[in-house]
Chain A
Amino acid sequence: MKALSIGSFNSFWRAALITGGIIAWSLPVWNIVVNPYQVFDTRLSIGDRYSSSTTNERFLKVDHLIKSRKSANANPDALIVGSSIMGLVDTSSVNRYFPDRHFYNLAFLAAKPDEILTTLQELKKAGVIIRTVVYGLEPIAFTDTKVYGPAYRLYPGASERSLARYFFDLLFVSSLSDGIGRLVSVISGKISVRYDIEGTGQYHLERYEMEIGIDHDAFISKQFPVDAKPAKAPPWVESRFNDFQELVRWLESEGVDARFYLNPLHPYVARAYGAERLAYFKQKIAIISGHNDLKDCTNVLSDAGDINRRFYDYKHFRPSESALVMACAFNPH
């Protein structure tokens, strides 16, 4: 079949430039209107604020803390840091053990120690007071080699030039799949996750909670298949331990009261690492952090029985378990 001619190259280059221009300039419009990472003015974009599953916590939480540092309200002076597992922790369950502190949940999805250090340094530089830091660790952050997208870009630094560059990059970033996810959730009205950026910093898995409310057993069958193949955890990324050491040193040098403990693991994940590797991890973290009595809460939820009811999936325990986990981490006995 002969391809349909459009006359001459004189028409071809014009047609290519016009259609190409439309394709190209639609991208920044899409990024502002769909706003999958929620970094642009949410008044110009669709859907509820901070309810996109790809909300960029790394930027928004830091931006919020920096902007609110001079407000008259009681500002946070203590931070919960760590990965998405910590992001679910209810700040009030931590505040109970530190009555004179005001906690904000600064945990990020897939946070690594070097990112936490960079973020804390940035906050300090911007004048945010940090008195206490609670960091719940798990081995996953020390073996994860995945490359993450724009939803995981760190706050760029306080200078205006780097902020402008940051927004410029996100204006033109490839975001089709993240944007479609956002679009579908807005159109269907089914919100999976909501970030309380301007409140506690915690995020809430609304869809999971709704499904649990309807039929918890069905939720468990979906999330924890009985015939799940055993998995093997990836090897350690040794440089992460060095990064963690850097973080510990910095916290010490800044006089921050830093508390570390090991987060609960689902038995499926614990088996993927194996007892030997978990023991290695615990020992290494204890040595680096200088916490000889490092609280190990790895089994605190599995020991309490009915394990699948306590987790959303193989990685994340439910916020309702925060009190139990914090009791393990901070109760002297």
Chain B
Amino acid sequence: MLFSTPEFIYFFLPLSVLAWWSLQRVGRSNEAQWLIVFCSIFFYGWWNVHYVLLMIGNALVNFYLGRYIFETSSRRCLVAGLIYNIGLLAYFKYVDFFIDNWNFIANTQFQALRLVLPLGISFFSFQVIAYLVDCYAGRVNDFSLRRFAFSISFYPHLIAGPILHYSDVMPQLQGRVIFCTRQFSQGLLLFVIGLFKKGFIADRLSEMVDPLFVTQELLRFFESWISAIGYGLQIYFDFSGYSDMAIGIGLMFGIILPHNFNSPYKSNSVAEFWKRWHITLSRFLRDYLYISLGGNRSGFARGALAAAVTMIIGGLWHGASWTFVLWGLLHGLFICVYRVWVRLGGRMNDVLAITFTFISVTAAWVIFRADSIERAISMWKGMLGLNGFAVPYAMSGVCPSCSQTALFTGFELVQGGILLVVCFSYANAYDTVQRIEPCLRNVGYFVLLLFASLWLSGSHESFIYWQF
């Protein structure tokens, strides 16, 4: 069940919110929490009922293991727990990748398992890994199964984050959750902004971008740039839309989920980009991987290496494919280059730095989206002008001697330009709703955005991050 589908918007969301507050109102907080756990299981089972038991079993194993680790401070149990969770993730997500590569290297013919990847397993696994480590470090002081189950399964973040720490949600559940009209209003507005970003912008961009990435035609200069920037915008609005919706739904329940997206295209370095894009993933990678690898404490070279390795693992987390590994490697290299630049005392004008960062991130999106490394290389060549130039039909009057492309109309340049202006200059939705006032104009915005999202949306595409 996608957040942007009618079954969710018209039925599941209003009914679950209504049930939650009805129970809270009569002082049945515990029952309300169990009800949301049940709703979240239903939400998960809507996609594939067979994996519901896996999710429940996995949550129970990790809860009791965490408690045991806390009580015994057993390093062995922690290691076993980490191996179990990473092993589960590896089994479902990476086993075919491993088999394919092994077959290629050793010239063997092992059959791939072709398992269906349990939805959200990458997010779920990282959350429970963080939980076990926090239990071991003594940072957890609440072992209520109900609150743990609520925190781990709460449906707004279940499939694609934000990736929660124990301390993000469980403490909020200890007392009765009080209905706050301001918070609820903020949640409504944030949800609708996210819905608009997803349905009206990202899904429409996908209709334009997808054919460019699957065409067998050699993409030339403008076509390649339109594909790369178009995908950069699609994933931006898709993921920020998802994050806004998730946090907005949380607020409708009176639960504050961590900020996950903070205008990343305004970053003036790739290092800063990762402090703004998928913030909770970056936080996890920093706290549980980068610092474990030595972080900044072991000198410049070691720190740069740790950053590069962290980014490669971050890339692989997105998907079991060499394209994701290379995407992570590219980001790792960008961060290393940036660190060297800073160490050498390099300075750059802010506008130039933001432009440079945007171009680097856009170039990297090519391999993130492309079906193969060869395809990505071909598109990079196109972006450098090595595949030639062609103008769309609408611009053929400007350059009558240029060859013509039928892959885009030229109108996409205007659309892309408008969206880039939005990305670079507008305050993000999260900050905007912090400042809303209860005025008619804001009700008008709410209605307008909802109208556009429901009445003018593109086809309901799955969220890009749901596949990870």
Contact = CB atoms under 8 A, between A and B. Distances in A.
Interface stretch (B179-187, B354-362, B371-379, B421-429): B179-187
A6 interface: yes
Nearest to B207: A147
Kindly name the residue among B10, B188, B217, B396 whose own CB sees the greatest number of chain A CB atoms within 10 A: B10
Contacts of A236: 216
A3 B456 contact: no
Interface in A200-242: 229, 231-238
A11 B10 CA distance: 22
Given A27-B454, A147-B459, A3 B442 contact: yes
A177 B458 CA distance: 12
Interface in B146-199: 181-182, 184-185, 188-189, 192, 199
B389 to A, nearest CB: 14
B109 to A, nearest CB: 25
A23 B450 contact: yes
Given A4-B441, A174-B457, A19 B446 contact: yes
Contact of A23 (B211, B215, B216, B447): B447
A32 B9 CA distance: 19
A159 interface: no
A6 B440 contact: yes
B85 to A, nearest CB: 35
A24 B181 contact: no
A145 B215 contact: yes
Contacts of B9: 24
A231 B392 CA distance: 10
Interface residues of A, number: 41
Contacts of B441: 3-4
Given A12-B442, A16-B188, A20-B188, A3 B437 contact: yes
A314 interface: no
Contacts of A177: 456
Nearest to B215: A235
B406 interface: yes
B91 interface: no
A69 to B, nearest CB: 31
Contact of B438 (A7, A17, A175): A7
Contact of B393 (A8, A169, A229): A229
A174 B454 contact: yes
Nearest to B393: A231
A15 interface: yes
Given A20-B450, A147-B207, A232 B188 contact: no
Nearest to A1: B441
Nearest to A236: B216
Nearest to A177: B456
A10 B451 CA distance: 22
B439 interface: yes
B443 interface: yes
Nearest to A12: B438
Contacts of B438: 5-9, 11-12
B73 interface: no
Interface in A12-49: 12-13, 15-17, 19-20, 23-25, 27
Interface extent on B, as a size class? 35 or more
Given A13-B188, A20-B446, A229 B437 contact: no
A234 B215 CA distance: 10
B204 to A, nearest CB: 9
Contacts of B216: 235-238
A16 B459 contact: no
B215 A9 contact: no
Nearest to B186: A9
A24 B454 contact: yes
A147 to B, nearest CB: 4
A13 B184 contact: yes
Contacts of B454: 23-24, 27, 172, 174
Contacts of A172: 6, 10, 454
Contacts of B387: none
A319 B122 CA distance: 57
B404 interface: yes
A181 B354 CA distance: 44
A146 to B, nearest CB: 8
B211 A145 contact: yes
A172 B393 CA distance: 36
B411 interface: no
Contacts of B407: 234-235
B104 interface: no
A109 B216 CA distance: 24
A5 B437 contact: yes
Contacts of A12: 181, 185, 438-439, 442-443
B451 A23 contact: yes
B378 to A, nearest CB: 14
A27 B457 CA distance: 12
Interface string A158-175: 000000000011011011
Interface string B390-407: 000100100000001111
Nearest to B218: A235
Nearest to A7: B438
A3 B188 contact: no
A149 interface: yes
Given A7-B438, A24-B9, A229 B443 contact: no
Contacts of A233: 406
B433 to A, nearest CB: 12
A8 B184 CA distance: 12
B110 interface: no
Contacts of B447: 16, 19-20, 23
A40 to B, nearest CB: 15
Kindly name the residue among A12, A25, A236 whose own CB sees the greatest number of chain B CB atoms within 10 A: A12
Contacts of A234: 217, 406-407
A176 interface: yes
B188 A229 contact: no
Nearest to A173: B6
12 contacts: A12-B438, A12-B439, A12-B443, A23-B451, A24-B10, A171-B6, A172-B6, A174-B458, A229-B396, A231-B404, A237-B216, A238-B216
Interface of A: 3-13, 15-17, 19-20, 23-25, 27, 143, 145, 147, 149, 168-169, 171-172, 174-177, 229, 231-238
* A-B CB proximity, top 9 nearest: A172-B6, A12-B438, A3-B439, A9-B181, A235-B217, A234-B406, A145-B211, A147-B207, A3-B441
Given A4-B440, A232-B393, 12 more contacts: A5-B438, A6-B438, A8-B438, A9-B185, A16-B188, A16-B189, A20-B192, A20-B447, A24-B10, A24-B450, A25-B10, A172-B6
